[in-house]
Amino acid sequence: MKLYEKLSLIFTGIIYFVVGLLIIFHPKFLYYGVAGVFFVQGISSLFRALMKTKS
């Protein structure tokens, strides 16, 4: 596993954990949580695609 893949997984895991906690304590945060997950996944996918084309 390359460094950028590992960092991407760590970052995504941290974001999921924080959003999960926020949803537990503030259920109305669910809308922002879902939007945040899509945003993070989109950035992660773009990052992976750009790194593969440069290799």
* DSSP one-letter string for 8-36: HHHHHHHHHHHHHHHHHH-GGGHHHHHHH
pLDDT band of residue 8 (cuts 50, 70, 90) is confident
Given a cut of 70, whether residue 9 has pLDDT beyond it is yes
pTM of the model: 0.55
Given a cut of 60, whether residue 55 has pLDDT beyond it is no
* CB 23 within 8 Å of CB 29: yes
* CB 8 within 8 Å of CB 48: yes
Q: What is the dihedral of CA 15, 19, 22, 26, to 10 degrees?
A: 160
